[in-house]
């Protein structure tokens, strides 16, 4: 037996040695101080600790920490401390060694990072939403202690995503959903653009494998055409830059499959209708550091003489870097073939920051300090604000994080010309609360660029904002509907909650006074009668309504409580003795309600016609039909709800209740029909409605359930609800309708009344 194992063990040893040697080689190529000894010590320790353990894929476990260390070193640019922590990151979690053992062998700094990584191991999201939020808070707190904790955690997640193929499908959905919801935006916020893109693409690949492959095939098929356009477009630019004597390189940036798909979903368009798949990146070496900004604008001026720039598409991230440190000048130019092409101009330093984020600052600042780190400090301050104001609801907490930490940012100015960074889509009210709580709570309006606007007015980059206040103004409940930042929402909710408590207390005092004045007992029965009379469910709601002055307790209430209620008691007795209609109705209803199931999460559940009618619920939020990429969610009653994988509700479920997800597979054939909504837009003409119905009803023999059509200034829009068997039917209908002359756009929509954004 031992003899048989030897060749395998030798092969494993060689694999491990080669992987570690490759890590060392790449580390020695970096600019970091060459602390090979401590890295080797960490590797040997981790190798011994994980000896004999294998990953689900079958490979020795130690290869995972080596791969994580390699990502941290090569793709993020971290040094020996981070490499050691990455090699050791699973030791405390998976073996008998403690953080104290790590500290004794490798010192306090490496131990602190390993401890931070251990606290958030096993994925951010636990079995319950509250556990998930708590773990995420830990992640943010450890990031506040040492940013390297989250950078190594992102490296860990990237390697897990690269090796996700060996996991069960239900686990794939959970991990991919978690990655899209938190890790990809987090990588973006830390400036790790390349990693962010790969995380998104890998998540997309596992959630929608067929669509991913389809887009990849289309990108491959159009590659030659793009290369030809790139060569032709950049030729005169190269000629001009050669004359300027600035060292440069020009590369083509192709939009990622996930970005393409996201745009197709958001704008309801096809792959062929996306015109910004190709972008051009000019990366230059400045004559000296002081001339970097001038060189950037000189290149812009030079290429703007060759091609006409789009007047509204200049983005100056050079003068005002993004919060993640990103700097570049973006300009959109009209090519000779009549196509808009975005050109990104950045120096080599800016390019490193764009790819490696804050880690790149350490590369350029030997002393460790950087003025750009001020942006990171601001961001960590925002995290502290959110953590200092705990949300009772875990999902609210996660939404708050998403709203603030991961939003794109805009720049607005105070009346004195001071610049403030705010999240995109923020309102004048958000701006008021960002300056001071008093200003926000007494805000009555604002002047934006000297024009009066309401509190709900959305701010644009470059706006100058003056807040108008009044001492008599109070926080309104409706404000929560258009506040978007964590600070504004938290302060509004806190003020409203305080006022509600005061009003409820006032109501309780008035109710107690009413019972005392009328000489009535304040028992549960009398409270229940008052609640029924005023149509509220609980004593708290009754007290709040009385306190707010919605109604006043008086003679009618007194008479109600003093009346005999014999008839009510008889009704209760009859209902109890003979059973009301409710029991009968419940029995009848239970025949049609989905039944609880015994579910094996490791197997793929088959969606047969019989199973769909008896056991499964098709989610109303996204209305999946056979052929859609779907997943199953086990609800509180142990029933399976089927969602589209890209459904926003499913995204929440993947991140909050990943352990309840199961893989499902359509097996309906043509036995059932499902409602589907189609949106059509085109040039109006006489008889267009007749042409639409002729194709659908007569040629394809499909039943039209609902139809609306509107025409304005020669453009018509139509929404049609049909009953189909599967996605193939939808594609056939759309392809046939596209053949009608003057139909310019046709797409499937989730809801009949969905708003379409062009």
What pairing do the DSSP bridges indicate for beta strands 640-644 and 616-618? parallel
Tell me how far apart the alpha carbons of residues 741 and 734 are, in angstroms, rounded to a whole number: 13
Q: Do 720 and 743 meet the contact criterion of CB atoms below 8 Å apart?
A: no
Residues 6+ away with beta carbon under 8 Å from 49: 91, 94, 95, 97
Tell me how far apart the alpha carbons of residues 534 and 557 are, in angstroms, rounded to a whole number: 9
Task: Give per-residue burial for 630-655: e unless 16+ CB within 10 Å, then b.
Answer: bbbbbeeeebbbbbbbbbeebbbbbb
HEC letters along 532-547:
HHCCCCCHHHHHHHHH
Residues 6+ away with beta carbon under 8 Å from 171: 658
Burial of 520 (0-12, 13-18, 19+ CB in 10 A): middle
Which of 18, 22, 29, 93 is the catalytic position?
A: 93
- Quick one: which of 397, 465, 389, 393 has its CA closest to 426? 465
- CA–centroid distance for 272 within its chain: 26
Residues 6+ away with beta carbon under 8 Å from 59: 15
Residues 6+ away with beta carbon under 8 Å from 267: 273, 757, 758
Please give the structure tokens belonging to residue 646. Answer: 């890209």
- Quick one: which of 345, 312, 325, 147 has its CA closest to 244? 345
Quick check: is 316 catalytic?
no
Tell me how far apart the alpha carbons of residues 387 and 276 are, in angstroms, rounded to a whole number: 39
- Quick one: which of 154, 159, 163 has its CA closest to 191? 154
Which of 12, 59, 94, 146 is the catalytic position?
A: 94
Sign of the torsion angle spanned by Cα atoms 202, 207, 210, 214: negative
Tell me how far apart the alpha carbons of residues 417 and 419 are, in angstroms, rounded to a whole number: 6
Tell me how far apart the alpha carbons of residues 161 and 498 are, in angstroms, rounded to a whole number: 45
Residue indicated by tokens 């003795």: 577
DSSP 596: P
DSSP 230: H
Tell me how far apart the alpha carbons of residues 341 and 234 are, in angstroms, rounded to a whole number: 11
List residues bridging with 641 in a β-sheet: 617, 633
Residue indicated by tokens 């636990």: 126
Sign of the torsion angle spanned by Cα atoms 18, 24, 27, 29: negative
Tell me how far apart the alpha carbons of residues 179 and 171 are, in angstroms, rounded to a whole number: 12
- Quick one: which of 563, 565, 547 has its CA closest to 555? 563
Tell me how far apart the alpha carbons of residues 176 and 186 are, in angstroms, rounded to a whole number: 14
Tell me how far apart the alpha carbons of residues 74 and 505 are, in angstroms, rounded to a whole number: 61
Residues 6+ away with beta carbon under 8 Å from 724: 625, 673, 674, 676, 702, 730, 733
How far CA 132 is from CA of 20, 127, 138, 385, 611, in Å, comes to: 34, 7, 10, 19, 32
Three-point CA angle 467, 470, 471, nearest 5°: 135
Quick check: is 93 catalytic?
yes
Active site residues: 93-94
């Amino acid at each position: 037996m031992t003899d048989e194992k030897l060749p395998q063990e030798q092969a494993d040893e060689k694999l491990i040695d080669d992987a570690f040697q490759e890590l060392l080689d790449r580390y020695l190529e970096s600019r970091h101080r060459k602390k090979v000894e401590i890295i080797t010590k960490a590797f040997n320790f981790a190798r011994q600790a994980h000896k004999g353990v294998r990953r689900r894929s079958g490979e020795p476990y130690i290869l995972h920490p080596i791969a994580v260390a390699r990502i941290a070193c090569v793709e993020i640019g971290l040094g020996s401390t981070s490499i050691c922590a990455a090699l050791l990151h699973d030791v405390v979690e998976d073996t008998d060694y403690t953080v104290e053992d790590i500290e004794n062998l490798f010192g306090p700094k490496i131990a602190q990072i390993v401890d931070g990584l251990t606290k958030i191991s096993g994925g951010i999201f636990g079995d319950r939403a509250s556990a998930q939020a708590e773990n995420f808070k830990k992640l943010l707190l450890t990031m506040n202690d040492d940013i390297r904790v989250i950078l190594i955690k992102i490296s860990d997640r990237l390697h897990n995503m690269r090796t996700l193929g060996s996991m069960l499908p239900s686990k794939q959905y959970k991990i991919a959903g978690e990655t899209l919801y938190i890790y990809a935006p987090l990588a973006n916020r830390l400036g790790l653009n390349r990693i962010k893109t790969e995380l998104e693409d890998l998540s997309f690949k596992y959630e929608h494998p067929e669509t991913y492959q389809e887009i990849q095939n289309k990108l491959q098929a159009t590659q030659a055409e793009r290369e030809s356009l790139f060569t032709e477009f950049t030729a005169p630019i190269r000629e001009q830059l050669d004359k300027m004597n600035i060292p440069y390189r020009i590369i083509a940036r192709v939009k990622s499959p996930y970005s393409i798909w996201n745009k197709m979903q958001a704008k309801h368009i096809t792959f062929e209708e996306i015109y910004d798949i190709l972008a051009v990146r000019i990366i230059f070496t400045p004559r000296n550091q002081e001339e970097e900004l001038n060189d950037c604008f000189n290149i812009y001026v030079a290429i703007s003489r060759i091609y006409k720039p789009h007047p509204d598409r200049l983005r100056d991230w050079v003068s005002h870097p993004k919060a993640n440190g990103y700097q570049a000048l973006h300009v959109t130019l009209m090519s000779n073939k009549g196509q808009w092409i975005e050109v990104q101009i950045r120096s080599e330093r800016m390019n490193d920051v764009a790819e490696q984020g804050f880690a790149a600052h350490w590369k350029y600042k030997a002393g460790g300090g950087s003025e750009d780190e001020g942006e990171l400090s601001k961001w960590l301050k925002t995290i502290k604000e959110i953590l200092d104001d705990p949300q009772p609801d875990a999902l609210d907490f996660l939404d708050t994080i998403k709203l603030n930490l991961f939003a794109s940012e805009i720049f607005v100015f105070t009346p004195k010309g001071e610049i403030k960074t705010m999240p995109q889509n923020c309102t004048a009210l958000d701006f008021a609360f960002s300056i001071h709580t008093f200003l926000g709570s007494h805000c009555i309006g604002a002047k934006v660029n000297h024009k009066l606007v309401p509190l709900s007015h959305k701010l644009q980059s470059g706006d100058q904002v003056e807040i108008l206040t009044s001492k008599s103004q109070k926080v309104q409940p409706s404000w929560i509907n258009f506040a978007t930042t964590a600070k504004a929402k938290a302060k509004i909710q806190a003020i409203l909650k305080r006022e509600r408590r005061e009003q409820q207390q006032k109501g309780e005092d008035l109710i107690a006074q009413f019972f005392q004045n009328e000489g009535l007992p304040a028992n549960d029965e009398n409270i229940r009668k008052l609640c029924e009379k005023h149509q509220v469910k609980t004593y708290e709601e009754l007290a709040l309504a009385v306190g707010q002055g919605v109604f006043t307790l008086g003679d009618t209430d007194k008479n109600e409580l003093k009346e005999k209620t014999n008839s009510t008691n008889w009704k209760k007795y009859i209902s109890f003795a003979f059973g009301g209609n409710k029991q009968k109705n419940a029995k009848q209803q239970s025949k049609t309600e989905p039944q609880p199931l015994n579910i094996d999460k490791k197997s793929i559940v088959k969606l047969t016609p019989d199973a769909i009618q008896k056991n499964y619920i098709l989610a109303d939020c996204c209305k999946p039909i056979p052929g859609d990429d779907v997943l199953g969610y086990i609800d509180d009653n142990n029933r399976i709800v089927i969602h589209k994988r890209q459904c926003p509700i499913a995204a929440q479920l993947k991140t909050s209740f990943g352990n309840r997800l199961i893989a499902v597979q359509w097996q309906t054939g043509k036995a059932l029909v499902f409602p589907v909504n189609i949106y059509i837009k085109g040039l109006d003409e006489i008889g267009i409605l007749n042409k639409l119905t002729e194709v659908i009803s007569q040629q394809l023999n499909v039943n039209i359930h609902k139809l609306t059509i509107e025409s304005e200034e020669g453009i018509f829009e139509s929404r049609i609800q049909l009953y189909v068997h599967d996605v193939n039917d939808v594609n056939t209908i759309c392809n046939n309708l596209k053949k009608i002359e003057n139909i310019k756009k046709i797409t499937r929509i989730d809801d009949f009344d969905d708003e379409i954004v062009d």
